[in-house]
């Protein structure tokens, strides 16, 4: 079993022990992920990157990944696969010669 499968299995077991599957529809999982993303953002509020607490980033990132993995599990995605696909898509949207050193969005390149 891969790492991602193992983590997903642990998260699903944790959830099912608590009978929380009834709440975990994809819409609410997406909401939950957004809430955690907002908490991650709070770690950086009024600060430079290097003033932010590494420990807090760690906490919030773990929460984001947990909801992301549950959402991915719901749809039966192979996470490794979908990230590789995305990298391939982005390689076309952002060819090296056009995008090198530029922060522009692909539709402005």
Residues 39-78 that bind a second copy (CB under 8 A): 39-49, 52, 54, 57-59, 61-66, 68-69, 71-72, 75, 77
Nearest distance, CB of residue 103 and a second copy, angstroms: 4
Provide φ and ψ at 103, rounded to 5°. Answer: -95, 10
Nearest distance, CB of residue 84 and a second copy, angstroms: 7
Q: Which of residues 74-103 bind a second copy (CB under 8 A)?
A: 75, 77, 79-80, 82-87, 90-91, 94, 96, 99-103
As a whole number of angstroms, the distance between CA 14 and CA 67 comes to 12
Q: Which of residues 4-43 bind a second copy (CB under 8 A)?
A: 4, 6-7, 10-11, 14, 17-20, 22-23, 25-28, 30-35, 37-43
Nearest distance, CB of residue 72 and a second copy, angstroms: 6
As a whole number of angstroms, the distance between CA 53 and CA 32 comes to 22
Half-sphere exposure of 75 (CA within 13 A, CB side): 13
Nearest distance, CB of residue 79 and a second copy, angstroms: 7
Please, are residues 16 and 64 in contact by the beta-carbon 8 Å criterion? no
């Amino acid at each position: 079993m891969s790492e991602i499968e193992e983590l997903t299995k642990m998260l699903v077991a944790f959830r099912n022990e608590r009978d929380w599957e009834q709440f975990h529809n994809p819409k609410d999982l997406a909401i939950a992920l957004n809430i955690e993303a907002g908490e991650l953002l709070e770690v950086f509020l009024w600060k430079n990157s290097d003033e932010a607490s590494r420990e807090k980033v760690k906490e919030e990132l773990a929460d984001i990944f947990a909801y992301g993995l549950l959402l991915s599990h719901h749809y039966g995605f192979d996470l490794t696969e979908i990230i590789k696909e995305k990298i391939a898509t982005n390689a076309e949207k952002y060819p090296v010669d056009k995008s090198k050193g530029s922060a522009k969005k692909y539709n402005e390149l």
